[in-house]
């Protein structure tokens, strides 16, 4: 779906990043430049940890700003986006590197990035309870925002409809 967006020319610094990613991972990733400073790297869950480690050690992205999960019921897939930012990386403060990974809905498991980026802690917990995605290796994958007695399906799945709302409203 996101692929439909028109490609843009990256900023010079982002261009280096794209080249570096392409030369290291080659066919394992597909790199898209959404805006001059927004790079999206799509990969599969087997390569996620390697990609994140590379982003931290070689590309100097030192923290994670956001983890968002999106349900695509038509594809029977859930998409997880890690948005990485950098403070110490040279000229990298304006760049956001998005690591995108799609997992099948019936086997929603993903390696946790908490050892690589400690800042994903609460974001991963939230994604776990909101979409039912299990992050393997997360030390405290417990409920965060939902009530203790929540017994419905994870609410951010498209199958969950808010009570009192009509279909399609």
Residues of this chain that bind another protein (CB under 8 A): 1-2, 4-5, 34-35, 37-38, 40, 62-66, 68-71, 81, 83, 85, 87-88, 93-94, 96, 98, 117-119, 121-123, 126, 130, 143-147, 155-156, 160, 162, 165, 169
Q: How far apart are CB 25 and another protein at their closest, in Å?
A: 21
Beta strands 77-85 and 30-35, pairing class: unpaired
- CA angle centred on 112, ends 141 and 14, rounded to 5°: 135
CB nearer another protein, residue 38 or residue 51: 38
Contact assessment for residue 63 and residue 87, using Cβ atoms and an 8 Å cutoff: yes
Cα 135 to the center of its chain, rounded Å:
12
Contact assessment for residue 40 and residue 61, using Cβ atoms and an 8 Å cutoff: no
Q: How far apart are CB 121 and another protein at their closest, in Å?
A: 6
CB nearer another protein, residue 48 or residue 156: 156
């Amino acid at each position: 779906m996101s692929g439909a967006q028109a490609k843009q020319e990256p900023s010079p610094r982002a261009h280096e990043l794209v080249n570096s990613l392409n030369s290291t991972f080659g066919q394992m990733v597909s790199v898209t430049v959404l805006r001059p400073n927004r790079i999206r790297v799509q990969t599969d869950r087997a390569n996620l940890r390697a990609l994140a480690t590379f982003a931290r050690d070689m590309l100097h992205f030192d923290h994670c700003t956001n983890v968002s999960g999106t349900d695509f019921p038509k594809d029977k897939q859930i998409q997880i986006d890690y948005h990485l930012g950098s403070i110490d990386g040279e000229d990298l403060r304006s760049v956001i590197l998005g690591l995108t990974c799609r997992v099948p809905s019936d086997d929603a498991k993903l390696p946790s990035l908490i050892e690589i980026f400690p800042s994903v802690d609460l974001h991963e917990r939230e994604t776990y309870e909101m979409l039912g995605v299990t992050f393997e290796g997360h030390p405290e994958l417990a409920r965060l925002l939902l009530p203790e007695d929540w017994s419905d399906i994870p609410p951010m799945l498209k199958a969950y409809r808010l009570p009192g709302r009509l279909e399609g409203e």
